[in-house]
RNA sequence: CGGGGCGUAGCGCAGCUCGGUAGCGCGCCUGCUUCGGGAGCAGGAGGUCGUGGGUUCAAAUCCCGCCGCCCCGACCA
């Protein structure tokens, strides 16, 4: 046994999750409590996520900017709900250069406040709107309990902040981003998500409305994978961000904020990986193809290495992220295990027999191994990568649907949430009392009030808890 | 902060009950033989036993304090 084993999912999902991260060398615990080190394999996934998302933001007219890490404490206190939500979890700098600061500086838990302070300077006219900014940054939230990628004290994310002339424009923006997040989750991460609005009790501190994408993990718990907030005029009023309209009046801007974080990496792991280690969707795999040469004698090694080099160059030329594993003194089987653990989607084995037959063996991380002719190999591999991407999405979608129940009433909701979990659709009267009662009884929360596309054909008539008239359909689940 | 587990070599652990010169597996280094699913043999390097105090001729082991980590809950992206 070369390395320690991975705890099976059905034995202990949390242990499995940590084992996969360690085996794939995605991250490691750091000397700082609650903070992780993102290792090259994990950071490579994040970089690909960044690049995919960044492209979408720019295509839709957003620009990147950067604001300070440190925020005057008084800024955070200007918006009542915001301070209430974030004050308990901030890290505060009280000293600098050996002296106590006149005003403490908060390490940003999110950047609304400092950004609106600047928006106030930059926005005078309706001609300055919309202002569409995004920043890639780190933030700090002093959480009580942390988990690698899912909740760390410091985490990496992007936060978009936009200002608009009208409520409608801000609403359109909020939903545009929600749609981008969904597209990214589904097309890049192969992770199906529900979209919808949050209830008041789950919405962002300071927002008028919060929308989210929610995914179902393999342990049937939900993961909030991204949020998009309509902030109304709350922050504009707190920071006095006004503009002059075309007709000459003054008005506060309407604004939005939205973000996804390194938590997405955790979602990716828990959506696709198996008991052998990470399974990475090809679009986000830092290494999409690994070439493992096989040989006995020296002269075989030479010819196999040269064949591997040609295949590598061929695939690279087609834009495939490929690596040759030329390490000597390591048997092929050992390499297979290592690359499987790291989630590389495709492995190409090249030995003397393959060279003689003008082929390679193509093994998929998701199962199956077949010969593939050298002629047209790049196209074959490209096709296989696309199939794997598709297959992962379909499998995840099927898993979610198998764990989804619609039209649940009290008994089924309780049984499901206290049992195997999953997404439970049911009627909701809209009262916070019912929401809380369900949470107390099952630890489940309303993940979203689903968008039309996800709503049930038969609209629930009664609240799943109290039985009174339902105002809206809700989706419950236990969540990370 | 409450409950549970744990700190001994890079990693995973044994040793602790009953005190007496620190051990195993993996990994690492060197060499030879191997190589189509986790290689074998030989030699070798590597440890203030989390930390501070106490008991003792003698502490990884017994006693007291502290620190840290993981898991489950409350808080949350």
Please report, rounded to whole angstroms, the spatial distance between the CA atom of protein residue A4 and the C1' atom of nucleotide B15. 22
Closest nucleotide to A276, Cα to C1': B38
The answer to whether A236 touches A20, Cβ cutoff 8 Å, is: no
Q: What is the pLDDT of residue A13?
A: 87
Nearest nucleotide (CA of A296 to C1'): B35
A242 close to A253: Cβ distance less than 8 angstroms: yes
C1' (B3) to CA (A145) span, angstroms: 15
pLDDT at A178: 97
Q: What is the pLDDT of residues A407-446, one digit of tens each?
A: 999 999 999 998 889 999 999 999 999 999 998 888 899 9
Q: State, as a whole number of angstroms, the distance between the CA of A314 and the C1' of B27.
A: 35
In angstroms, rounded to a whole number, what is the distance separating the alpha carbons of residues A54 and A281? 19
Predicted local distance difference test score (pLDDT) of residue A4:
53
Nearest partner of A169 among A205, A131, A116, A212, judged by Cα:
A131
CA–C1' A113–B14 (A): 55
Q: How far is the CA of A3 from the C1' of B58 (A)?
A: 39
Segment A390-412 shows an average pLDDT of 96
Nucleotide B68's nearest residue (CA vs C1') is A33
> Stated in angstroms, how far is A3 CA from B25 C1'?
11
Nearest nucleotide (C1') to alpha carbon of A85: B76
Mean pLDDT (chain A) is 94
pLDDT(A32) > 90: no
Q: What is the pLDDT of residue A1?
A: 32
Query: Is pLDDT at A56 greater than 90 in this prediction?
Result: yes
B69 C1' closest Cα residue: A33
Model confidence band, residue A399 (pLDDT cutoffs 50, 70, 90): very high
* Omega before A25 within 30 of 0, i.e. cis: no
Spanning CA of A143 to C1' of B4, the rounded length in angstroms is 21
| pLDDT of A89 | 86
Structure tokens belonging to residue A463? 């609240």
**CA of residue A334 to C1' of nucleotide B43, angstroms:** 24
- Say if residue A3's pLDDT is above 50: no
Q: Dump pLDDT digits (tens) for A325-382.
A: 999 889 999 999 999 999 999 999 999 999 999 999 999 999 999 999 999 999 999 9
How deeply is A68 buried, as exposed, middle or buried, from its count of CB atoms within 10 A (0-12, 13-18, 19+)? exposed
pLDDT at A2 over 80: no
Among residues A114, A134, A136, A160, the alpha carbon closest in space to that of A63 is found at A134
Using the structure, give the distance in angstroms from the CA atom of A3 to the C1' atom of B45, rounded to a whole number: 21
Q: Of all residues in chain A, what percent are helix, strand and coil, respectively (each to 5)?
A: 40, 30, 35
The torsion angles phi and psi of A218, rounded to 5 degrees, stand at -70, -15
Protein-to-nucleotide distance from the CA of A136 to the C1' of B58, whole angstroms = 60
Query: Is 90 exceeded by the pLDDT of residue A34?
Result: no
- Among A14-23, A47-56, A187-196, A376-385, which is the least confidently predicted range? A14-23
Q: Which positions of chain B lie under 7 Å from any protein Cβ?
A: 1, 11-12, 25-27, 33-39, 68-77
Closest nucleotide to residue A262 (Cα to C1')? Answer: B77
CA distances from A367 to A51, A154, A320, A345 (A): 29, 36, 20, 10
| Residue whose CA is minimally distant from B70 C1' | A15
Nucleotide nearest to A292 (CA to C1'): B36
pLDDT at A74 over 50: yes
Domains and CATH numbers, chain A: 13-272 (3.30.930.10), 289-384 (3.40.50.800), 404-477 (3.30.110.30)
- Closest nucleotide to A335's CA, by C1' atom? B38
Residues 6+ apart with CB under 8 A from A17: A147, A148, A266, A269, A270
- Residue owning tokens 């604001």: A67
> Nearest nucleotide to A334 by CA–C1' distance?
B38
Report, as an integer, the average pLDDT of A177-199.
97
Residue A195, pLDDT > 60, answer yes
Nucleotide nearest to A139 (CA to C1'): B77
Give the residue-averaged pLDDT of A256-261. 96
């Amino acid at each position: 046994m070369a390395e320690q084993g991975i705890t099976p999912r059905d034995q202990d999902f949390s242990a499995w999750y940590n084992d996969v991260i360690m085996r794939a060398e995605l991250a490691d615990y750091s000397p700082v409590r609650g903070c992780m080190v993102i290792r090259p394999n994990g950071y490579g996934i994040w970089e690909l996520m960044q690049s995919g998302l960044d492209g979408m933001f720019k295509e839709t007219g957003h620009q990147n900017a950067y604001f300070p890490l440190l925020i005057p404490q008084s800024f955070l206190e200007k918006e009542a709900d915001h301070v209430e939500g974030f004050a308990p979890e901030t890290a505060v700098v009280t000293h600098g250069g050996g002296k106590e600061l006149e005003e403490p500086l908060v390490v940003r838990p999110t950047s609304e406040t400092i950004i609106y302070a600047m928006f106030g300077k930059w926005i005078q006219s309706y001609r300055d709107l919309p202002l569409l900014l995004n920043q890639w940054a780190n933030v700090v939230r002093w959480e009580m309990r942390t988990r690698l990628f899912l909740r760390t004290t410091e985490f990496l994310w992007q936060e978009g902040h936009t200002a608009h002339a009208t409520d409608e424009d801000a609403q359109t923006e909020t939903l545009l981003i929600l749609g981008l997040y969904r597209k990214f989750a589904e097309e890049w991460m192969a992770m199906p998500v529900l979209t919808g609005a949050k209830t008041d009790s789950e919405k962002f501190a300071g927002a008028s409305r919060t929308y989210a994408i929610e995914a179902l993990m393999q342990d049937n718990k939900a993961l909030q994978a991204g949020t998009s907030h309509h902030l109304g005029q709350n922050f504009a009023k707190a920071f006095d961000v006004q503009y002059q309209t075309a007709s000459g009046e003054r008005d506060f801007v309407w604004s939005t904020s939205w973000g996804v974080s390194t938590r997405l990496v955790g979602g990716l792991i828990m959506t696709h990986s198996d008991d052998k280690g990470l399974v990475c969707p090809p679009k986000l795999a830092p290494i999409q193809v690994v070439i493992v040469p096989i040989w006995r004698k020296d002269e075989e090694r030479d010819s196999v290495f040269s064949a591997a080099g040609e295949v590598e160059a061929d695939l690279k030329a087609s834009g495939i992220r490929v690596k040759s594993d030329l390490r000597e003194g390591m048997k092929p089987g050992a390499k297979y295990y290592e690359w499987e653990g790291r989630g590389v989607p495709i492995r190409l084995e090249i030995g003397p027999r393959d060279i003689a037959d003008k082929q390679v063996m193509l093994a998929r991380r998701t199962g199956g191994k077949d010969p593939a002719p050298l002629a047209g190999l790049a196209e074959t591999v490209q096709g296989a990568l696309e199939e794997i991407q598709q297959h992962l999405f379909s499998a995840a979608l099927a898993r979610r649907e198998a764990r989804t129940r619609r039209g649940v009433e009290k008994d089924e909701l309780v049984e499901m949430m206290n049992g195997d979990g999953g997404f439970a659709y049911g009627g909701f009267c809209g009262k916070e009392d019912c929401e809380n009662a369900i949470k107390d009884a099952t630890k489940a929360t309303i993940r979203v009030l689903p968008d039309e596309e996800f709503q049930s054909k038969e609209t629930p008539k009664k609240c799943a808890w109290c039985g009174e008239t339902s105002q809206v359909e809700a989706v419950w689940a236990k969540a990370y």
